[in-house]
Structure 1
Amino acid sequence: MIELVNSDRCIGCDICVKVCPRDVFDSGDDGLAVIARKSDCQTCFLCELYCPVDALYVSPHAEQDDEVDSEQLIAQNLLGSYTRNMGWSRGKMGGTDKDPTRQLRILNRVGREEQPTPQRQLL
Structure 2
Amino acid sequence: MIEVVVEDRCNGCGDCVQACPSDVLRMGADGRAVIAHQADCQTCLLCELYCTTDALFVWPQVDRVVGLSAEQALASGQLGAFRRDHGWGEHTTTHTNQHWRMGAIFERARLLAVETAAAKTARPEDIR
Question: TM-score normalised by the shorter chain: which range applies?
Answer: 0.7 to 0.9
In structure 2, what is the equivalent of residue 74 of structure 1? 74
Alignment of 1:1-123 (within 5 A): 1-89=1-89, 96=96, 99-101=98-100
Segments of 5+ residues of structure 2 without an aligned counterpart are 104-128
Higher helix share: 2
Contact 2:43 2:62 in 1 (8 A): yes
Q: Report the CA distance shift for 1:44/1:28 in structure 2 as closer, same or farther (over 3 A).
A: same
CA contact (8 A) 2:87 2:95 kept: yes
Gaps of 5+ in 1: 105-123
What are the superposed Cα offsets for residues 68-106 of structure 1, whole Å, 9 maximum, x if unpaired?
A: 1222321231112221222224697x8616x223797xx
The number of aligned residues is 102
Q: CA RMSD in A?
A: 2.4
Indicate the structure (1 or 2) with the bigger Cα radius of gyration: 1
Q: Is the contact made by 1:43 and 1:58 (CA closer than 8 Å) also made in structure 2?
A: yes
Q: TM-score, normalised by structure 2?
A: 0.70
| TM-score, normalised by the number of residues in structure 1 | 0.73
Task: State the alpha-carbon separation in 1 of the partners of residues 47 and 91 from structure 2.
Answer: 9
